[in-house]
């Protein structure tokens, strides 16, 4: 059972690393080769596929790890969930396919996503006690 949990934790951590790399790589599309208010289309399908796959693996392994812990969590975990929702929302705003979102709004969404990601990583490393 512990080997199974360690394997899942490793997969979860790998997915976090992939998410961080994809967010950083995809961020470049908002600064180089933009077309009007749209990000650079080069590699769009690859970035979207990697981002969606890694986020899916992250969520699924997280749910299974929660199940293995009988859903017993620390108080900081709820802050982590809120920051994850902010991360997803900000990324969806930053890379929306419509050209009605200005490039500055896209960059602001990317900035919020980066702050949320750093917040999540900080919470996981520090594991503060809010109660």
- Is 86 inside any structural domain? yes
Q: How confident is the model at residue 33 (pLDDT cuts 50, 70, 90)?
A: confident
Q: Which of helix, strand or coil describes residue 56?
A: helix
36 belongs to a structural domain: yes
Predicted structure pTM score: 0.90
On whether residue 46 sits in a domain, the answer given is: yes
> How many domains are contained in the chain?
1
Check residue 118 and give its pLDDT: 96
Q: Is residue 96 part of a domain?
A: yes
- For residue 42, the model assigns a pLDDT of 86
Rg over alpha carbons for the chain, rounded to the nearest Å, is 16
Torsion angles phi and psi, residue 38, rounded to 5: -100, 145
* 103 in any annotated domain: yes
Who contacts 36 (Cβ-Cβ below 8 Å, separation ≥6)? 99
> Which domain covers residue 74, as residue numbers?
2-126
Instruction: Tell me, yes or no, whether 131 lies in a domain.
Output: no
């Amino acid at each position: 059972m512990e080997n199974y949990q360690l394997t899942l934790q490793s997969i979860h951590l790998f997915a976090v690393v992939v998410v961080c790399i994809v967010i950083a790589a995809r961020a470049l599309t908002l600064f180089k080769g933009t077309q009007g208010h749209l990000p650079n289309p080069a590699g769009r399908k690859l970035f979207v596929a990697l981002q969606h796959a890694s986020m899916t693996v992250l969520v699924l392994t997280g749910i299974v790890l929660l199940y293995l812990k009988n859903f017993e969590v620390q108080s900081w975990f709820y802050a982590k969930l809120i920051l994850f929702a902010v991360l997803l929302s900000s990324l969806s705003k930053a890379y929306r396919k419509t050209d009605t979102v200005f490039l500055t709004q896209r960059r602001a969404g990317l900035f919020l996503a980066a702050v949320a990601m750093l917040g999540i990583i900080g919470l996981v490393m520090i594991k503060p006690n809010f109660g």
